[in-house]
Amino acid sequence: MVVFALLFAIVTLYVTGKVKLYPAGDMALWMAAGYLRLMILLLPYLALCAFISASIDTPFAALTVGLAVVCFVPLLGFMAGRSNQTAGEVVDFLLPGGYKWWLFHPSIGMVPRQHGRDARLHGAVLMLGWRHFERRDL
């Protein structure tokens, strides 16, 4: 989160100092809102990776499965969606990032819907991870 904050700050400084398309205050507010939305979007992925890490004993296997779920499943869903619209929609619905563009929707009513969806996904995966972790033989 700190690295993303630094990147957002650098981009904000560059755009307000060099490009000068928008006033600095407006640009800083827009970038802060984008940062907050990105952090909210990352919460379900964080919970999902924590669940995978708690479920698999080997760190390298947990990393491999986590990368497969976070990176390759959306890619497969995109490829399936090009040939079959329903398959792509199902994958988009199951993964946290499927409706990520709702965060930047011009209609302000879509943003709380996305936050609610992300909170439900985050809570569900967090509960699964906690349940599995409590039952695990340490």
Q: How many CB atoms are located within 10 Å of the residue 48 CB?
A: 22
| pLDDT tens-place values along the chain, 138 residues long | 899 999 999 999 998 888 888 888 888 888 888 888 788 778 778 888 888 888 888 889 999 998 888 887 777 767 776 776 676 666 666 666 666 666 666 676 777 777 777 778 778 888 887 887 788 765
The pTM of the whole model exceeds 0.85: no
Q: How many CB atoms are located within 10 Å of the residue 35 CB?
A: 17
Q: Domain limits of the chain?
A: 41-135
Task: Compute the distance between CA of residue 25 and CA of residue 74 in angstroms, rounded to an integer.
Answer: 36
